[in-house]
Structure 1
Amino acid sequence: MFKLPSPPSPEADSNELADFVELLSWDAGSASKREVVACLGRVDDNDNNAGCDDDDDENSAFLDEVMNEIERRASACGGGYPFRLDHQGTVLRHEAGSAGIRSVLYRYLLLGTRLNMKDNRIHAGIDGANLLEEVAANVLRNYLGYSRAHTSVFGTSVGGTFQAKIERLCAELHEGVGFESLDDAPVDANDDKLDAVAWVPFSDLLPGQLIVFGQCKTGSNWGGLTTQLQPDAFIKKWMKGTIVVSPIRAFCISEAADRARWKGKCTEAGILLDRCRLVDFCDNLTPDLVDKISHWTNAAKSASALPRLDT
């Protein structure tokens, strides 16, 4: 999985290369299939490949898969995709004037996938990884029904002790009595993989309601982390009393997940909210959150070496 400023490897799949083409287009305004092939160094001298098909044909066929992935993303984002593929499917153009919430969020998530978010997450004084927790909380509320659903950010972006966050969550849910550690050892947890919670309460405020526990991951190395958050275990470990109906899991990621592995990942992660799904349900983001996303994205792009067509 490539990380900026490095380009993708020759073995990169179509999903990685779709991100790469988007970054090229974002930087230059547009990117054609031939420009992308040249940038990747995939065009070889045919004299050194006797017996092979013409390189242009091979590269064109491979880039067709990438452009198909880009076309799928445009559809999956629900109208907020900030790029436009031409009618021939050979040139991707960046819609520089697309300043709507969905486009702003997509660009943030793209950079949040391809930057090293362990060492390069702070820009404009804003932690880009923590922003995803706020985004996820808002998206989960939209998904459950904005007018009736409630949401709460629980992860590292929220201050306070772990015990205080558990106490607050129980009070908000009207379930569980409060904090109680299952073990006698000192508590060193900060969020124990729980980043965002959303629920749909009834007017009676009685226990027994739809609750979603969400975990968030920027970057692209999330594949082996999809089973970390286990709601029933979390409740047993940290809550006095119980939650009557087990919460369901959601896994929120900045990457546009590989559709060839989608079903398997959903069986592990619960409801998988990847880049396109987050964009699809990002209505009602607060102006303050959109402003932070915009500032982080602009600063991160300015400070980062995006791939260029002239390299």
Structure 2
Amino acid sequence: MALQNDSVSAREILAYLGRAGDNEYNEGVDDEDDVNANAMDDVMIEIDRRSRSCVGGYPFELDLKGTVLRHDRGDASERAVVYRYLLLSTRLNMTTDKVQANIDGTALLEEISAAVLRCYLGYDRARSVVFGTATGGTFREKVNALCEALGEGGCFEALDPGPVNANDDRLDAAAWIPFSDMRRGKLIIFCQCKTGSSWKEHTTQLQPDAFIKRWMKHRTFLVLPVRAFCVSESTCPNHWGGLVSYAGLLFDRLRLVDFLDRIEPDLLERIRTWNAAAATVAAKAIN
């Protein structure tokens, strides 16, 4: 609501929640207004947590009384632009509405994740690539290119003789820190990405050791890659430990913004374009 209207008050949030509740089956609920009001303190605390976690990239601000959330529409910083994208790609139906202005919003997350992973590994000596739908080529070609870039795995060679139907087999991005000696055995991250809010059941799908065994000639790496999971949603702190236990190195919306130290201008411009179109769709959904 603040994204569309530049600001939203606690009273307006309660009114909106009340209207949403009136449209739902609520027999047996004594007073939904009381439930919504009791949740407001938690909402404001969460807003403060997000602001502190995004190192200046949170494009919203609470007033001094903590009752009005304002959207800084003029904040065009890289982190703020990406935060808006991550917010919109959580709120929209990313099955039916992922393509905006002829740009696939799910593919943008793969590119953002690759950029963030490289920053997380120190950037200058680190490397990263997109492996998922955001990059072209056949699955065989992508595996061969990844093996060459990593200096690991040999080349593409399927474990089974049957037809290969995989597009990315859950691997969306990879990042690593190469050594000057070019020998095998290095820190590598294999990452899966998910927009939307229905991602928790997918946290164990990417298994780096199984991916290598199924698709690479050498069948294993000297040092197995670390598994990572990047999501556009801001995760609930109360369930963080359990989620990380399954997902591995988890980058939610706040962590992605936190480590977005650098981003290519072309990618940033495509994110801006997608955001502008997606915001119109989101506004219609709210109204």
Whether TM exceeds 0.5 here: the answer is yes
Q: Which amino acid aligns with 1:133?
A: E
> Is 1:217 aligned with 2:194?
yes
- 1:154-193 alignment, distance < 5 Å: 154-193=131-170
Instruction: State the match for 2:268 in structure 1.
Output: 290
Instruction: State the match for 1:10 in structure 2.
Output: none
Q: Which amino acid aligns with 1:36?
A: I
The whole-number CA distance in structure 2 between the counterparts of 1:194 and 1:55 is: 43
Partner secondary structure for residue 230 of structure 2: strand
Question: Structure 1 residue runs of 4+, over 3 Å off?
Answer: 52-60, 303-308
**Residues 86 and 56 of structure 1: is their aligned pair in 2 closer, same or farther, counting only changes over 3 Å?**
farther
TM-score by length of 1: 0.86
Identify the match of residue 81 of structure 1 among 34, 58, 70.
58
> Is 1:62 aligned with 2:46?
no
Partner secondary structure for residue 76 of structure 2: coil
**Residues 55 and 109 of structure 1: is their aligned pair in 2 closer, same or farther, counting only changes over 3 Å?**
closer
Q: Deviations over 1:122-166 (max 9, x none)?
A: 111100000000000000000001011000100011110101111
> Is 2:121–2:176's contact at 8 Å kept on the other side of the alignment?
yes
Q: CA deviation at 1:190?
A: 0.4
Instruction: State the match for 1:302 in structure 2.
Output: 280
> Is 1:27–1:306's contact at 8 Å kept on the other side of the alignment?
no
The whole-number CA distance in structure 2 between the counterparts of 1:224 and 1:53 is: 33
Instruction: State the match for 2:103 in structure 1.
Output: 126
**Residues 43 and 224 of structure 1: is their aligned pair in 2 closer, same or farther, counting only changes over 3 Å?**
closer
Instruction: State the match for 1:5 in structure 2.
Output: none
> Is 1:111 aligned with 2:88?
yes
Partner secondary structure for residue 156 of structure 1: coil
The whole-number CA distance in structure 2 between the counterparts of 1:145 and 1:173 is: 17
Partner secondary structure for residue 147 of structure 1: coil
Query: Gapped runs of 5+ residues in structure 2?
Result: 22-28
Q: CA deviation at 1:301?
A: 1.1
The whole-number CA distance in structure 1 between the counterparts of 2:283 and 2:275 is: 13
Instruction: State the match for 1:135 in structure 2.
Output: 112
Report how many residues are paired: 279
> Is 1:245 aligned with 2:223?
yes
Q: CA deviation at 1:305?
A: 3.3
Q: CA deviation at 1:177?
A: 1.0
Q: CA deviation at 1:42?
A: 6.6
Query: Gapped runs of 5+ residues in structure 1?
Result: 1-23, 45-51
Q: Deviations over 1:66-120 (max 9, x none)?
A: 1111111101111100000112211100011100000000010101001110111
Q: CA deviation at 1:43?
A: 11
The whole-number CA distance in structure 2 between the counterparts of 1:53 and 1:220 is: 29
Q: Which amino acid aligns with 1:205?
A: M
Q: CA deviation at 1:300?
A: 1.2
- Compare 288-297 and 29-38 and name the one that shifted more: 29-38
Identify the match of residue 71 of structure 2 among 59, 77, 94.
94
**Residues 219 and 56 of structure 1: is their aligned pair in 2 closer, same or farther, counting only changes over 3 Å?**
closer
Partner secondary structure for residue 128 of structure 2: strand
> Is 2:171–2:206's contact at 8 Å kept on the other side of the alignment?
yes
Q: Deviations over 1:37-80 (max 9, x none)?
A: 11221799xxxxxxx99987654331111111111110111110
> Is 1:42–1:59's contact at 8 Å kept on the other side of the alignment?
no
Q: Which amino acid aligns with 2:70?
A: R
- Compare 58-67 and 98-107 and name the one that shifted more: 58-67
Q: Which has the higher contact order (CA 8 A, sep 6+)?
A: 1
Identify the match of residue 258 of structure 2 among 271, 280, 287.
280
> Is 2:4–2:283's contact at 8 Å kept on the other side of the alignment?
no
Q: CA deviation at 1:307?
A: 5.7
**Residues 258 and 55 of structure 1: is their aligned pair in 2 closer, same or farther, counting only changes over 3 Å?**
closer
TM-score by length of 2: 0.93
The whole-number CA distance in structure 1 between the counterparts of 2:240 and 2:176 is: 25
> Is 1:121–1:128's contact at 8 Å kept on the other side of the alignment?
yes
Give aligned-pair identity as a percent.
56
